[in-house]
């Protein structure tokens, strides 16, 4: 993809919803807005087939390198058009200030109860699935037997699909929740120096990040409910995780009381997919 093509995609205002990718769940396979998402369009042009999207394939890393190079070239070009000297902004002094701020920001994030709770959830998920391997095998055998018996009123295939979907949802959001909460926490710290009027007009990035974390928690709670119903022998452990997620949800809502009301482009503004 050339810089010209990249810029042409970015300037197609009639098709793309500006910022629709800012507060999404990064799950393109399930997204209704891929046809109107600039990030998705760039990815499809740069990584058009399975081979180019395989992390173990050289084509993927070359494609990723090309995207970074072309994006940097576009940034330089646009800066020049606006009379901005990027090199002049990158000095040893500015880098030292940035590094010190990042180190302090990282310490504040790591000391946050939300960060600790999200990390605890990540570990709980890994532990639950590791301890449930035999349960899944037994459930598979049970559904296979039910399929052979043809029990009236039961659809083993639908049950299997529901379980697979629940597992996929839990695994997708397992790390995502913590990442988005970290962004929300760091954003809230950065916003302390921002203009209150500007924040009121354009919204707080911290609230947008917290909102998508809350949505991920909501979806995860629903998925755990499916597993709770399917694996009675794991009820205590599953309920423990559900209780932990609910506490994390309520703590996030207390820390970011405006998050649920944050309006995300496309998702909350009624544009057609």
pLDDT at res. 195:
75
- Cβ-in-10-Å burial (0-12, 13-18, 19+) of 6 comes to buried
Residue 3: pLDDT over 50:
no
pLDDT in tens, 214-236: 999 999 999 999 999 999 999 99
Encode the chain in three state secondary structure: CCHHHHHHHHCCCCCCCCCCCCCCCCCHHHCCCHHHCHHHHHHHHHCCCCHHHCCCCHHHHHHHHHHHHHHHHHHHHHHHHCCCCHHHHCCHHHHHHHHHHHHHHHHHHHCCHHHHHHHHHHHHHHHHHHHCHHHHHHHHHHHHHHHHHCCCCCCHHHHHHHHHHHHHHHHHHHHHHHHHHHHHHHHHHHHHHCCHHHHHHHCCHHHHHHHHHHHHHHHHHHHHHHHHHHCHHHHHHHHHHHHHHHHHHHHHHHHCCCHHHCCCCCCCCCCCC
pLDDT in tens, 140-159: 888 888 788 877 677 888 88
Q: How confident is the model at residue 182 (pLDDT cuts 50, 70, 90)?
A: very high
User: Among residues 200, 216, 3, which one has the least CA distance to residue 118?
Assistant: 216
Residue 2: pLDDT over 80:
no
Residues 6+ apart with CB under 8 A from 77: 3, 7
Would you say the pTM of this structure is higher than 0.85? no
| Averaged pLDDT score across all residues of the chain | 83
User: Among residues 230, 15, 271, which one has the least CA distance to residue 135?
Assistant: 230
Q: What would the mean pLDDT of 119-142 be, rounded to a whole number?
A: 94
Where do the structural domains in the chain lie, given as residue ranges? 3-90, 107-261
Residues 6+ apart with CB under 8 A from 208: 22, 23, 259, 262, 264
């Amino acid at each position: 993809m050339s810089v010209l093509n990249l810029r042409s995609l970015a300037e197609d205002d009639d098709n793309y919803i500006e910022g629709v990718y800012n507060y999404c769940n990064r799950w393109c396979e399930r997204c209704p807005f891929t046809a109107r998402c600039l990030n998705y369009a760039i990815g499809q042009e740069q990584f058009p087939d399975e081979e180019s999207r395989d992390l173990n394939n050289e084509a993927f890393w070359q494609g990723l390198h090309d995207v970074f190079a072309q994006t940097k070239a576009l940034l330089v070009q646009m800066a020049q058009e606006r009379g901005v000297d990027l090199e002049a902004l990158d000095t040893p002094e500015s880098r030292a200030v940035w590094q010190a701020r990042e180190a302090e920001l990282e310490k504040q994030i790591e000391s946050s109860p939300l960060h600790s709770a999200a990390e605890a959830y990540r570990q709980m998920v890994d532990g639950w699935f590791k301890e449930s391997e035999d349960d899944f095998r037994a459930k598979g055998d049970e559904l296979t037997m039910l399929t052979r018996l043809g029990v009236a009123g039961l659809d083993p295939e639908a049950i299997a699909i529901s379980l697979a979907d629940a597992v996929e949802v839990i695994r997708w959001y397992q790390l995502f929740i913590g990442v988005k909460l970290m962004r929300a926490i760091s954003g809230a710290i950065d916003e302390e120096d921002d203009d209150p009027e500007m924040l009121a007009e354009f919204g707080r990035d911290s609230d947008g990040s917290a909102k998508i974390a809350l949505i991920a928690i909501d979806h995860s709670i629903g998925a755990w409910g499916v597993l709770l119903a399917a694996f009675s022998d794991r009820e205590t452990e599953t309920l423990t995780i559900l209780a932990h997620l609910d506490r994390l949800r309520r703590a996030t809502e207390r820390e970011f009381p405006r998050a649920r009301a944050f309006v995300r482009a496309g998702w909350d503004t009624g544009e057609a997919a």
